[in-house]
Structure 1
Amino acid sequence: VWHKCVDIVTAGLKRVAEIGTMMPDPHGYRRYCFTPLVAWTADLPEQLMIACVSKSASPVTEATHKQFGDSHSHSSRTGDLTLQRIEQVARGTHPWNNLSRFQREAKTIQLSGVHLPFWRNWPFADPSIFLLPEILHTCHKFFFDHVLSWCRELLEDDLDARFKCHHKRVAVRHFAGGVSHIKQMTGREHRDIQRTIVPMIAGCVPPRFLRAIRAIISFIYQAQSPIHTDTSVKEMESSLQEFHAHKDAIIEANARKTRSAGTKNDFHIPKLELFHSFAAAIRNNSGLIQYTADVSERLLITHCKRPFERTNKNKD
């Protein structure tokens, strides 16, 4: 249903992408323009929905669940490849004849069961290109869900003690109550903890564990640069490779745990796999910071959540 709705809404853009139209530029001159789909800001679940793949696969590469922790990148999951696989399933079981069977067979090859993606007839549209890494959810949320969790597991109360005794300084947030008790944070708090997490754990963790954390923090900061060069992109990739080279220290320290499965010996983390696509995305679309969801998430609060609080709370 979602793809059908977007298909209808973007019909005009698809037509202009194919034949072009006259548009005024900022100076008032008319230009002959086209509207290809260049970038789409979305978090991971939305990217999976747009790319028409299941949760056990990457939306932009051919990697599947057990490959999410690999230290190398996988081949791109191009739009043509996805459309070919959808057509392959449809030849055996057409969705209009047996939808449930079509969806079951689609899921066996990491498809979500969508028959007609909205981008199928959008000239030059390719999910592996226009689905860009999103800094807020991919980096900062990854830090809170995983990196900070690893540090908590290893240091326990010592981490809070270090944050509490941190000297107050202008422009640096002081967590007087520690950080372990916070169940839900905003992107601002994620950033504040990232700024000091490396010195906070230094001296209390194994050297290779510290090096892995420092490397992934460096990667997150480098990915947010508004301007990139070939050298800066290579340095960013080097930081990611350094993390992969030392990530086994996190498992050795028994810091990789989940509530449901307990201690884990793998890094099958979807967002970790997405980090491999950062370099290509930067080369294609320049700095990723311009596509962050910070603005839209803030507008969601000011234009949706707060006005809703002034209503009778009736969602219908």
Structure 2
Amino acid sequence: MTFAPKHIWSDESKTERFYSEMWTGDWWWETQTRLPESSTIVPIIFATDKTNLSVFSGDKVAWPVYMTIGNISKATRRKVSQRAWRLVAYLPVTKLECFETQEVRRVKGWEVYHRCMRHICEPLYSLGPESDGVQLLCADNAVRRIYPFLAVFTVDHPERCLIACCKDNHCPECEVDPNKRGDPTPSRSRSRQCPFWRNLPVFHVFKSFPPDLLHQLHKGIFHCHLVDWCSNVLGKDEVDARFKCIPRHSSLRNFTKGISKVSQWTGRECKEMEKVFVSVVAG
């Protein structure tokens, strides 16, 4: 457990700074300057994701909300055996069939989500930098004045859009049109009247989304863009044939049936394809 921000440098001259854990980032340092002396920040990390409970048939879905804190090292948080994450709530999953149109259901679904998250975050609204914080006994048996601030949301892209109040396939930060993404022209930031994070102290919703390597890089850039583009140029049959011809090696996976028949693209499969994709395209 770490209770104060740190600067980590590569050498004594302090010319190169290392960023690794949450307490080495600028956000923690900047927030610390707004608090009384000897205060301790507890960055709250939420993770939510809809989970299918029915494997072969049915539509049973659970929507759990898990929580951890940034004072715990990321190596510990990643280990299931350490139990660093806690289940704090289940969000309701409903089709809202009482409403007639899909557009109304979408809006009402947004309202349900934000109302639930507002209820979950209720204790945090009054614990801003101007408050007295909370006296708490910490893991090292020391009593500290802590300030719990919501800092990070670990969610996939659809839930990012839900939290940021925008439609799927739209940028969650600005109002740029989907077919104009990549244009360097600045776009107006999104603004909503009553999202659950509106009055949360020191919380910036668009800075709370960490990079999602699985959905943004492996499944996003590689699967949805590079593979599709190259398959359109070379042809799916040709791409499959080249994958089948990859020589066997202990560190490589052999796709004996090609990749066009892969029904479930997981992060592991994407990584294995990425190892040989350049040679496949080059022929």
TM-score by length of 2: 0.54
Q: Does 1:153 align with 2:232?
A: yes
Distance 1:17 1:7 in 2: 16
From 2, 8, 11, the counterpart of 2:122: 11
More helix per residue: 1 or 2? 1
Distance 2:246 2:202 in 1: 52
Which structure 1 segments of 5+ residues have no match? Answer: 87-115, 204-316
Q: 1:28 to 1:172 in 2, by over 3 A?
A: farther
Matched position secondary structure for 2:125: helix
Q: 1:178 to 1:56 in 2, by over 3 A?
A: closer
Shift of residue 82 of structure 1?
A: 1.2
Deviation per residue, 1:201-257 (Å, 9 max, x gap): 114xxxxxxxxxxxxxxxxxxxxxxxxxxxxxxxxxxxxxxxxxxxxxxxxxxxxxx
Aligned letter for 2:243? F
Q: 1:13 to 1:48 in 2, by over 3 A?
A: same
Shift of residue 8 of structure 1?
A: 0.6
Shift of residue 51 of structure 1?
A: 1.0
Distance 2:164 2:205 in 1: 6
Aligned letter for 2:158? P
Q: Is the 8 A contact 1:14 1:35 kept in 2?
A: no
Q: Is the 8 A contact 1:60 1:131 kept in 2?
A: no
TM-score by length of 1: 0.49
Q: Does 1:134 align with 2:212?
A: yes
Matched position secondary structure for 1:37: strand
Q: Does 1:117 align with 2:195?
A: yes
Q: Does 1:43 align with 2:156?
A: yes
Distance 1:172 1:44 in 2: 30
Aligned letter for 1:144? H
Deviation per residue, 1:93-150 (Å, 9 max, x gap): xxxxxxxxxxxxxxxxxxxxxxx21101101222211123322111221121221111
Query: How many pairs are equivalent?
Result: 168
Distance 2:173 2:136 in 1: 32
Q: How does 1:1-316 map to 2 (within 5 A)?
A: 1-18=112-129, 19=131, 20-55=133-168, 57-70=170-183, 72=184, 74=186, 77=189, 82-83=191-192, 86=193, 116-142=194-220, 143-156=222-235, 157-203=237-283
Q: 1:122 to 1:140 in 2, by over 3 A?
A: same
Which structure 2 segments of 5+ residues have no match? Answer: 1-111
Q: Is the 8 A contact 2:219 2:265 kept in 1?
A: no
Q: 1:173 to 1:199 in 2, by over 3 A?
A: same
Matched position secondary structure for 2:144: strand
Q: Is the 8 A contact 1:56 1:64 kept in 2?
A: no
More strand per residue: 1 or 2? 2
Distance 1:75 1:29 in 2: 48
Q: Is the 8 A contact 1:23 1:31 kept in 2?
A: yes
Distance 2:177 2:120 in 1: 32
Deviation per residue, 1:235-290 (Å, 9 max, x gap): xxxxxxxxxxxxxxxxxxxxxxxxxxxxxxxxxxxxxxxxxxxxxxxxxxxxxxxx
Q: 1:167 to 1:62 in 2, by over 3 A?
A: same
Shift of residue 58 of structure 1?
A: 1.2
Matched position secondary structure for 2:151: coil
Q: 1:4 to 1:17 in 2, by over 3 A?
A: same
Matched position secondary structure for 1:16: coil
Shift of residue 182 of structure 1?
A: 1.4
2:83 equivalent in structure 1:
none
- Identity %, equivalent residues: 32
Give the alignment's Cα RMSD to 1 decimal.
Answer: 2.2
Higher relative contact order (CA 8 A, sep 6+): 1
